[in-house]
Amino acid sequence: MSDTKKEVRIGLIGAGWMGKAHTVAYRNAGVIFGDDLPILELVSDVNEAQVKVASKLLGYNRWTTNWVEVVTDPDVDLVDVSTPNSMHFEMIKLALENGKHVFSEKPLSLSGEESRILADLAKEKGVVNYCGFSNVMNPANQYVKELVDTGKLGKIMRIHATYDQDMLLDPEIAITWRHKKALAGTGALGDLTSHLLSVSQFILGDIEEVIGIESLVIPTRPVEVGSSEHADVETEDLATFLVRYKSGIIGDFTSSRVATGRKNYFYYEIQGTEGTVVYDLERMGEVQVYFKSDADVDNARDAGFRTVLLNPNHAGFKWFQPAAGIAIAFDDMKTLQAHELLQALSGAPYASDFEMGAKVDSVVSAVKKSIETRQWETC
């Protein structure tokens, strides 16, 4: 908790699942931290019936069906963009041009080039520009960054990472905007791997070059639930790529939205010359760590990976639970994110800015290009 208290008037664009999650996080931050003063000023959605209900249920002062009113409203300090991917660039750009602070779900746009435009514009305007990579705020990933930054793992050599789900394994699931290139840009690569890339960027820094492959497992889907009419799926079901970082680290990333049996398998292993760390989001409160120094004692009799349970000594954890072994969850990451965002408006530092978002989107774009050219591409 800080001594900084500042009212922040929020305008939300998109009253769906993620918009609701953001709103709950704003409220939770105000209660938990005590120094956040979010004012839920205005909510927008193209669905009038939905936005009316959302305004009342979530507690916004006003509602509209025209998102432009949000980014131009003088009583809105922070614009929250929680819409489908294809809408982000236009909304963010106009909000920035109107001098608004902006919080946007990833991706910033459908291309690395457009995301770079937004990152540069945000820097020019001098406003808070926050990209919604929730996993960066996970206390486990903060701990891993500390292990890397302090040298406890030695020189980092390699990362192996995967984010798998089976949410779209059923071929009878109807087609949505996520299956269309014009609306989503990519499939598993942008939807899932981008979360891994944000954590990678946070912990290990810039990726320099990539080469990838992809697969479309279910090429058509019903146009609506129960329909016999099908439409083409235009975005990949799974993607794999190799990377080389500017620091010399090498690695591999894979994501699938049709990974049988996998529900939210966000997993990575970082190997260093003095230790290795393993993290699996499905076991959110545990980090597996191996230190080479353990093998130097008693002929390595007791050497092996140790399980570190997240506890109040890990960044952010203490605000939710008093002791190790008590679970935290996705909504807690969103609350930590909301707190960092709101404090940023009073000058506090934050990691997930549009610069990070642009770098992640440039990696995604480079992977897509490498799949087309069948060769290494720079990011």
Look over the chain and give the mean of its residue pLDDT values, rounded to a whole number.
Answer: 96
Same domain, 117 and 146: no
Same domain, 354 and 218: yes
Mean pLDDT of 210-214: 98
Does the pLDDT at position 1 exceed 80?
no
Same domain, 150 and 199: yes
For 73: left if phi > 0, alpha if psi spans -120 to 50, otherwise beta; the answer is beta
Determine how β-strand 377-378 pairs with β-strand 36-44.
unpaired
Same domain, 70 and 218: no
Three-state SS sequence of the chain = CCCCCEEEEEEEECCCHHHHHHHHHHHHHHHHCCCEEEEEEEEECCCHHHHHHHHHHHCCCEEECCHHHHHHCCCCCEEEECCCHHHHHHHHHHHHHCCCEEEECCCCCCCHHHHHHHHHHHHHHCCCEEECCHHHHCHHHHHHHHHHHCCCCCCEEEEEEEEECCCCCCCCCCCCHHHCHHHHCCCHHHHHHHHHHHHHHHHHCCEEEEEEEEECCCCEEECCCCCCCEEECCCCCEEEEEEEECCCCEEEEEEECCCCCCCCEEEEEEEECCEEEEEEHHHCCEEEEEEHHHHHCHHHCCCCCEEEECCCCCCCHHHCCCCCCCCCCHHHHHHHHHHHHHHHCCCCCCCCEHHHHHHHHHHHHHHHHHHHHCCCEEC
CB 290 within 8 A of CB 276: yes
Residue 1 lies in a domain: no
Q: What is the pLDDT of residue 374?
A: 98
Same domain, 184 and 197: yes
Residue 36 lies in a domain: yes
Mean pLDDT of 362-368: 98
Name the domain boundary from 103, 133, 163: 133
Pairwise CA distance, residues 100 & 15, whole Å: 19
Same domain, 179 and 285: yes
Residues above pLDDT 70, as percent of the chain: 99
Residue 18 lies in a domain: yes
Mean pLDDT of 124-153: 98
Comparing 8-12, 156-160, 295-299, which segment has the lowest mean pLDDT? 295-299
Residue 232 lies in a domain: yes
Same domain, 106 and 127: yes
Measure CA 213 to chain center: 22
Same domain, 16 and 76: yes
Residues above pLDDT 90, as percent of the chain: 96
Name the domain boundary from 80, 115, 133: 133
Same domain, 118 and 205: no
Name the domain boundary from 115, 133, 151: 133
Q: Which domain does 320 fall in, by range? A: 136-378
Domains in the chain, number: 2
Residue 204 lies in a domain: yes
Same domain, 281 and 165: yes
pLDDT tens-digit readout, 182-202: 999 999 999 999 999 999 999
Q: What is the pLDDT of residue 282?
A: 96
Residue 256 lies in a domain: yes
Residue 62 lies in a domain: yes
Q: Is 242 exposed, middle or buried (CB count within 10 Å of its CB: 0-12, 13-18, 19+)?
A: middle
| Residue 206, token pair as written in the block | 């810039």
Q: What is the pLDDT of residue 5?
A: 64
Does the pLDDT at position 300 exceed 90?
no
Same domain, 37 and 94: yes
Residue 237 lies in a domain: yes
CB 78 within 8 A of CB 8: yes
Same domain, 182 and 112: no
Residue 301 binned pLDDT confidence (cut-offs 50, 70, 90): confident
Q: Residue 332 sits in a domain of what CATH number?
A: 3.30.360.10
Residue 268 binned pLDDT confidence (cut-offs 50, 70, 90): very high
Q: What is the pLDDT of residue 4?
A: 53
Q: Is the dihedral of CA 341, 345, 351, 353 positive or negative?
A: positive
Q: Residue 37 sits in a domain of what CATH number?
A: 3.40.50.720
Residue with tokens 């963010």: 92
Residue 295 binned pLDDT confidence (cut-offs 50, 70, 90): confident
Residue 302 binned pLDDT confidence (cut-offs 50, 70, 90): confident
